[in-house]
């Protein structure tokens, strides 16, 4: 498999993993940030597992800056996301510009993507936190306002890693 495909496969293998306590995970242990929100640690762990170098996403605004700094950033409305891209979210209106991150699995070509995200809530818990929900989950998220599923857009943009393939 290609590095891109390996990265997506590694992300998918973790679906259903639940934190061991309040933000306690193997992902946080890996990055040295155990006990803190771990969506970025999950992304960093998955990248490391397949030998992929990505900007540090543990602090999500720094991940955005990192991708912008290497010219590998696309805003949501102009993006053409690909599997393996890193997706950044803003769920808190009036809050931090970016507070969550995940991995694109597939572009649905309808203004939405399938993602795998660490530290989110599964769809069976719709009132759970999307940015600190305690589980690795597959989600469908909108990146265009005119998406055919009529989902609210929380995606800010995408970082495109430099894959070896």
Q: Which two tokens stand for residue 64?
A: 């955005």
**pLDDT at position 118:** 98
> Would the pLDDT of 96 be above 70?
no
Q: List pLDDT tens digits, range 20-36.
A: 999 999 999 999 999 99
pLDDT at 117 (0 to 100): 98
Exposure on the CB side of residue 77, measured as CA atoms within 13 A: 3
For the chain, give every domain's residue range.
3-159
Which is nearest to 145 in space by CA: 121, 111, 115?
111
pLDDT digit string, tens, across residues 58-89: 999 999 999 999 999 999 989 999 999 999 99
Longest dimension (CA), the chain: 42
Q: pTM score, two decimals?
A: 0.96
Q: How far apart are CA 115 and CA 42, in angstroms?
A: 13
User: pLDDT per residue over 35-47, tens digit each?
Assistant: 999 999 999 999 9
- Check whether 97 has a pLDDT greater than 90: no
Q: Let me know if 49 is exposed, middle or buried by CB neighbors in 10 A (0-12, 13-18, 19+).
A: middle
H-helix segments, the chain: 3-13, 26-31, 39-49, 60-69
- Whether the CB-CB separation of 137 and 130 falls below 8 Å is answered with no
Closest to 7 (Cα-Cα) out of 58, 38, 43, 40: 43
Contact 57, 68 (CB under 8 A): no
């Amino acid at each position: 498999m290609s590095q891109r495909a390996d990265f997506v496969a590694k992300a998918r293998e973790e679906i259903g993993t639940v934190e061991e306590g309040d933000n306690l995970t193997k992902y946080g242990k890996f990055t040295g940030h155990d006990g803190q929100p771990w969506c970025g640690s999950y992304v960093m762990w998955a990248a490391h597992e397949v030998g992929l170098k990505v900007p540090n996403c543990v602090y999500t605004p720094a991940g955005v800056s990192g991708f912008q700094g290497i010219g590998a950033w696309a805003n949501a409305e102009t993006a053409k996301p690909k599997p393996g891209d890193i997706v950044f979210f803003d769920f808190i209106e009036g809050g931090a510009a970016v507070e969550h991150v995940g991995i694109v699995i597939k572009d649905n070509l309808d203004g939405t993507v399938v993602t795998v995200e660490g530290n989110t809530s599964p769809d069976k818990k719709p009132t759970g936190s999307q940015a600190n929900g305690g589980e690795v989950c597959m989600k469908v998220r909108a990146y265009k306002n005119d998406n055919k599923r009529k989902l609210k857009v929380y995606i800010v943009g995408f970082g495109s890693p430099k894959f070896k393939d």
